[in-house]
Amino acid sequence: GPLKEVFFFPTEVACTEHVFNPDSLFPCPCPLPHGVETSFSRLLGHIMSASSSLDLCVFAFTNFSLSRAVLALHERGVAIRILTDMDYTLITGSQIGAIRRAGICVRCDCGAVHMHHKFAVLDGRRLITGSLNWTLTAIQSNKENVLVTDEPDLVRPFIAEFQRLWDANDPI
Amino acid sequence: GPLKEVFFFPTEVACTEHVFNPDSLFPCPCPLPHGVETSFSRLLGHIMSASSSLDLCVFAFTNFSLSRAVLALHERGVAIRILTDMDYTLITGSQIGAIRRAGICVRCDCGAVHMHHKFAVLDGRRLITGSLNWTLTAIQSNKENVLVTDEPDLVRPFIAEFQRLWDANDPI
Ligand SMILES: [Zn+2]
Ligand SMILES: [Zn+2]
């Protein structure tokens, strides 16, 4: 059947360098534990698996590794659209500035209504959703859940909602 | 196949009295629109469908209608366990006090780590999860998603995580 995965946070802190450099010939010199699969490395692995598109709807985005994954996909030619909450693009540590400067298309949901989503659709067929904001606190300190699935009945409504919100926030 | 539903918020404001009194012979006298199915009435309908158990893990719980649904299930003999975040039980409008006074078992996740979950498992076989907190703001004002499924591969990990957190927060 279609992929269905759930993982929970907080997760152990471990090196995630292998997700970004799977073919590296050199052992990573950082002081974190290596060879440990964590909820976070699994999340990063799913994001890095995108080959054609990534639609991301996140209310806060301050996590550096998640930003690194998005920038790596962009460099690889993956079409990226990010919808975020205006109130949070200016907070300390927000990665949205760096992402914009790289040429990635970001739209702010500037309505009075708070954008509380945290989901991503990869290649129009894989959904990542849950309680987890794309922040450092969420990943290292909160009890959170993430659900990943290719189940079309679950992915389809999120694709439609993303498009609806994207069109509604066209700056032109 | 197993149930898979997704709905989004904010939703229209409409009367939800029919969810609580489906067999009422009298038309509801309230000023809200009637006969409208909304994301909120669908969410309430799912919760009210529980026949044997409800395990609820919510970080904030201030919504009166959701509290009413939980109290109605309790009165009907449904076994209810609620895990919530200590920091939020004392906030204005929290329904946890009323729920405790009704004799429902509530445990507080008192750890340093923030409990950010918002999921429920009904009858050990239906999962409700998403970005939505059980607050009034979330339902009326935020852009939120809720996913409901009977898919065993998705329900099972949440059952295990609930039990793990429940045991970890045994007050004795
Ligand atoms: Zn390392
Ligand atoms: Zn009414």
For the stretch A7-45, pLDDT in tens is 999 888 999 999 999 998 899 999 999 999 999 999 999
Domain membership flag for residue A29: no
Quote the tokens at residue B115: 């409990």
Residues B145, A119: C-beta atoms closer than 8 Å: yes
The torsion of the CA quartet A62, A68, A70, A76, rounded to 10 degrees, works out to: 170
Exposure string for A34-51, b = 16+ CB within 10 A, e = fewer: eeeebbbbbbbbbbbebe
Phi, psi of A122, rounded to the nearest 5 degrees: -105, 130
Whether B125 contacts B155, CB under 8 Å: yes
DSSP H or E run through A165: helix A152-168
Neighbours of A20 (CB within 10 A): 13
Residues B129, A113: C-beta atoms closer than 8 Å: no
Mean pLDDT of chain B: 91
Look at the alpha carbons of A38, A42, A47, A50 in this order and tell me if their dihedral is positive or negative.
positive
Domains in chain B, number: 1
Most B CBs within 10 Å, among A6, A42, A57, A164, to test the B interface: A6
Ligand nearest B32 Cα, by number? 2
A87 is known as an active-site residue: no
Residue B156: closest C-alpha in chain A: A6
At A113 the pLDDT is 74
Domain membership flag for residue A19: no
Quote the tokens at residue B61: 């719980």
**Partner residue facing B6 (CB), from A10, A116, A154:** A154
Judging contacts by C-beta atoms under 8 Å, the chain A residues touching residue B150 are none
Domain membership flag for residue A144: yes
Judging contacts by C-beta atoms under 8 Å, the chain A residues touching residue B7 are 157
ipTM: 0.87
Domain membership flag for residue A32: no
Whether the per-residue pLDDT at B69 is higher than 90: the answer is yes
Percentage of residues in chain B having pLDDT higher than 70: 95
Quote the tokens at residue A106: 């970001």
DSSP H or E run through A87: helix A86-89
Domain membership flag for residue A137: yes
Domain membership flag for residue A158: yes
**Domain assignment of residue B128, given as a range:** 4-10+34-168
> Distances from the Cα of B26 to the Cαs of A88, B22, B23, B81, in angstroms?
47, 11, 9, 34
Residues B154, A6: C-beta atoms closer than 8 Å: yes
Bridge partners, residue B102, by sequence: none
Whether A144 contacts B119, CB under 8 Å: no
B18 is known as an active-site residue: no
Is B21 exposed, middle or buried (CB count within 10 Å of its CB: 0-12, 13-18, 19+)?
Answer: exposed
B35 vs A103: CA distance, rounded Å: 47
Q: Would you call A147 an interface residue with chain B, using a CB distance cutoff of 8 Å?
A: yes
pLDDT band (50, 70, 90) for residue B158: very high
C-alpha of residue A160 to centroid of ligand 1, in Å: 39
pLDDT band (50, 70, 90) for residue B60: confident
Residues B142, A4: C-beta atoms closer than 8 Å: no
Q: Would you call B141 an interface residue with chain A, using a CB distance cutoff of 8 Å?
A: yes
Give B119-157 pLDDT, tens digit per residue. 999 999 999 999 988 887 777 778 999 999 999 999 999
C-alpha of residue A117 to centroid of ligand 2, in Å: 30
Q: Would you call B115 an interface residue with chain A, using a CB distance cutoff of 8 Å?
A: yes
C-alpha of residue B40 to centroid of ligand 2, in Å: 14
Residues B138, A119: C-beta atoms closer than 8 Å: no
At A18 the pLDDT is 94
Residues A115, B8: C-beta atoms closer than 8 Å: no
Give B9-22 pLDDT, tens digit per residue. 998 899 999 999 99
Three-class SS state of B162 = helix
Percentage of residues in chain B having pLDDT higher than 90: 67
A123 is known as an active-site residue: yes
Exposure string for A77-104, b = 16+ CB within 10 A, e = fewer: ebebbbbbbeebbeeeebbbeebeeeeb
Domain membership flag for residue B48: yes
CATH code for the domain in which residue B130 is found = 3.30.870.10
**Partner residue facing B131 (CB), from A112, A116, A142:** A116
Domain membership flag for residue A100: yes
Mean pLDDT of chain A: 91
- Comparing B115 with A104, which gets the higher pLDDT? A104
At B65 the pLDDT is 93
